[in-house]
A and B are shown apart, each in its own frame.
Chain A
Amino acid sequence: MRKLLSAYRLLIAATLTLVSAVAHAQLSIEITGAGASRFPVAIPVFENEGTLPRGVTDVVRADLERSGLFSLVDTGLAAFPVTTVPDMASVRGRGADAVLTGSIYQQGDGRFEVRFRLFDTQKQTELGGLSMRMAPAQNRAIGHKIADFVYEKLTGQPGYFSTRIAYVVKSGPTAAPRYELQIADADGMNSATALASREPIISPAWAPDGQRIAYVSFEAKKPVIYVHTLATGQRQVVANFKGSNSAPTWAPDGQRLAVVLTKDGQSQLYVLNADGSGVRRLATSPGIDTEPAWSPDGAWIYFTSDRGGSPQIYRTSSSGGSAQRVSFEGSYNVTPRLSADGTSLAFITRNSGRFQVAIMDLASRQTTILTDSARDESPSFAPNGRMILYATETGGRGVLAAVSSDGRVKQRLSVQAADVREPSWGPQIR
């Protein structure tokens, strides 16, 4: 009953978040599916948190809840100061297998110190803790770091709450649309427009350094590839050859891009330096080759090709050579994207006329369809490989969605009165 009550409170909290997010035209996140067994964790409000203009524990709670891997256990109003070891038997009695305790200390310079510790109530041991200094406006960034810490200690995998995502928002009337390349935190907050245009923007791709994004803009009435430095807003044309220039993707070294050009005929794969120099053809095929994706070890480039009569996924050595077919089931498999550990491939498959997100285990070549929607596009992995962000459609409107790599956890991210598309999950910056 208590668990149910706390779930109800969370639902109210989530609804309020949703309303405030919409008011700021942020991406709002709705959880549409959760893991079968979620890890129960208690996160009482940090001691003296009222001294902060905006809290951090709400951020930590929302991150962990949204991951679908955790359920939050209510511990009541009592404070759990970081300086004392909590009564773990009592916390466990309330159903929590772990508890996060923390305190806020006001510093003389207007800054704050946040100290927290994580305890395993089953083993009755401390799992670790940290102390961080923050400016009052950094409450969200600090909250994400704490959530990353908890996530990693309890799941063994790094968290992804401090990462960023890029996507394109289309708004305005059909006759005069506006396209914006936006960057937001992984929870959809803090969105900022990096580029606004009257012409389409597609295929944003994060550089491994998280500082630059390559994309295709149609502002010159044709597709041209740019590299955009986020901090300065500087943009550079890196491929503007006769014909179309598209599908940029970064090499793991951040120095080169694989792209698709039509300067020598139909869409083919090329590699060039990040400043646009040193163009060389990677492969020659009798059909369309597009949507290259580098494997994290730099050895392979996966891509879509219709050389066999239908679009399928192939791979070729990044130094060139013959291609091997990777996808075999069905007549439409496109947009290959690799997980950061290189073991899994996310892609879009057409299944009875519906375009859905699928995942392939590259060792066994076992494929699983993860979604039940009909218009999925542009999958990209979270840096830890646990979630896949993609674009889909609900009610004729483009929205972003995320699904866990086991298909259990599902979220939807949308912006009021606008089409959202072309998501790309940014790298983990350590």
Chain B
Amino acid sequence: MKKVLVPVLLATLLAACSSTGTFDQPAGGAAVDERSKGEGSGVATVTAPSASGSGIAALTDPKNILSKRSVMFDFDSYIINDEFRPLVEAHAKFLVQNPTMKMLIQGNADERGSREYNLALGQKRADAVRKALTLLGAKEAQIESVSLGEEKPRCTEATEACYAQNRRGDMLYSGEF
């Protein structure tokens, strides 16, 4: 029973900060096959963490470093800057302590240039975060790194300050994606 409840609670807790829209269908448009939405997506289904003191609540507690999820990158760079080391270490520790917890890392790029090439650049950023987490003890099977390329900008102005916000890797836990 607990196994089912915990992820449901987590999902509820996180619903407020999740921006997942529903997939709607136009009149006369394509039939959207529900099966294709989630099943077989390679993304692990929500599983219960071995809830301990450092558990679930920490992920959404604004006072806890675990509530911070973004690693920012310099232009044309895939190196995790020192200022993000504590953040990555905290999440690695959380994954180690909660070995059934899964993480999706979404890499992002700024909008300049080709969408597909930017998708590949975003993947390199997501991979950099994944590698750092696994070096710190998280298991490969816990983490999937993917790219959103330039498709999900946090900031939409054509300025350098804005582009900087879009060069990032976001860490999402089970129930948040």
Hey, which bits of chain A sit against chain B, CB under 8 A? 174-176, 180, 192-200, 202-203, 218-224, 226, 228, 233-237, 240-244, 246-247, 260, 262, 265-267, 288, 290-291, 304, 311, 332, 334-335, 348, 350, 355, 377-378, 396, 421-422
Residue of B whose beta carbon sits closest to that of A217: B36
B50 to chain A, nearest CB (A): 23
Report Cα–Cα, A378/B114, bound state, in Å. Answer: 7
Q: Which residues of B contact A235 (CB under 8 A)?
A: 30-33, 36
Residue of B whose beta carbon sits closest to that of A263: B42
Report Cα–Cα, A218/B124, bound state, in Å. Answer: 18
| Number of interface residues, chain B, beta carbon within 8 A | 47
The answer to whether A304 touches B117, judged by C-beta atoms less than 8 angstroms apart, is: yes
B58 to chain A, nearest CB (A): 23
Those of B16-68 within 8 Å (CB) of chain A: 19-26, 28-33, 36-38, 40-43
Main secondary structure of the interface of A (DSSP, over half): strand
Stretch at the interface among B4-12, B86-94, B146-154, B160-168: B146-154
The answer to whether A221 touches B104, judged by C-beta atoms less than 8 angstroms apart, is: yes
Can you identify 20 A-B contacts, CB atoms within 8 angstroms? A180-B26, A196-B30, A197-B23, A202-B115, A218-B148, A222-B146, A222-B148, A234-B31, A240-B40, A240-B41, A240-B42, A260-B120, A267-B119, A290-B117, A291-B116, A304-B114, A311-B117, A348-B114, A350-B113, A355-B112
Hey, which bits of chain B sit against chain A, CB under 8 A? 19-26, 28-33, 36-38, 40-43, 104, 106, 112-117, 119-121, 123-124, 127, 144-149, 151-152, 156, 158, 172, 177
The answer to whether B43 touches A246, judged by C-beta atoms less than 8 angstroms apart, is: no
Q: Which residues of B contact A234 (CB under 8 A)?
A: 31, 33
The answer to whether B147 touches A244, judged by C-beta atoms less than 8 angstroms apart, is: yes
Residue of B whose beta carbon sits closest to that of A237: B36
Report Cα–Cα, A246/B146, bound state, in Å. Answer: 11
Report Cα–Cα, A175/B117, bound state, in Å. Answer: 25
B43 to chain A, nearest CB (A): 7
Q: Which residues of B contact A244 (CB under 8 A)?
A: 119, 123, 146-147
The answer to whether B124 touches A266, judged by C-beta atoms less than 8 angstroms apart, is: yes
Q: Which residues of A contact B23 (CB under 8 A)?
A: 197-199, 219
Given A202-B119, A223-B149, A291-B114, output 14 extra A-B contacts at Cβ < 8 Å: A196-B25, A198-B21, A200-B151, A218-B151, A220-B43, A221-B20, A221-B104, A221-B106, A240-B40, A243-B146, A260-B116, A334-B114, A335-B117, A350-B113
B118 to chain A, nearest CB (A): 10
Report Cα–Cα, A203/B29, bound state, in Å. Answer: 19
The answer to whether B42 touches A266, judged by C-beta atoms less than 8 angstroms apart, is: no
B20 to chain A, nearest CB (A): 7
The answer to whether B37 touches A220, judged by C-beta atoms less than 8 angstroms apart, is: yes
Main secondary structure of the interface of B (DSSP, over half): loop
Report Cα–Cα, A291/B112, bound state, in Å. Answer: 16
Residue of B whose beta carbon sits closest to that of A197: B23
Given A233-B29, A355-B112: A243 touches B123 (CB 8 Å cut-off): yes
Given A233-B31, A260-B120, A288-B121: A243 touches B114 (CB 8 Å cut-off): no
Q: Pick the contact of A288 from B21, B40, B120, B145 — CB < 8 Å?
A: B120
The answer to whether A223 touches B26, judged by C-beta atoms less than 8 angstroms apart, is: no
The answer to whether A246 touches B119, judged by C-beta atoms less than 8 angstroms apart, is: yes
Q: Which residues of A contact B24 (CB under 8 A)?
A: 196-198
Report Cα–Cα, A262/B116, bound state, in Å. Answer: 13
The answer to whether B146 touches A241, judged by C-beta atoms less than 8 angstroms apart, is: no
Closest 3 CB pairs of A and B: A198-B21, A233-B30, A222-B146
Residue of B whose beta carbon sits closest to that of A267: B120
B112 to chain A, nearest CB (A): 7
The answer to whether A198 touches B146, judged by C-beta atoms less than 8 angstroms apart, is: no
Report Cα–Cα, A221/B144, bound state, in Å. Answer: 12
Report Cα–Cα, A221/B149, bound state, in Å. Answer: 12
Q: Which residues of B contact A223 (CB under 8 A)?
A: 119, 146-149
Q: Which residues of B contact A196 (CB under 8 A)?
A: 24-26, 29-30
Q: Pick the contact of A202 from B20, B42, B116 — CB < 8 Å?
A: B116
Report Cα–Cα, A226/B36, bound state, in Å. Answer: 9
The answer to whether A237 touches B40, judged by C-beta atoms less than 8 angstroms apart, is: yes
Residue of B whose beta carbon sits closest to that of A198: B21
A23 to chain B, nearest CB (A): 19
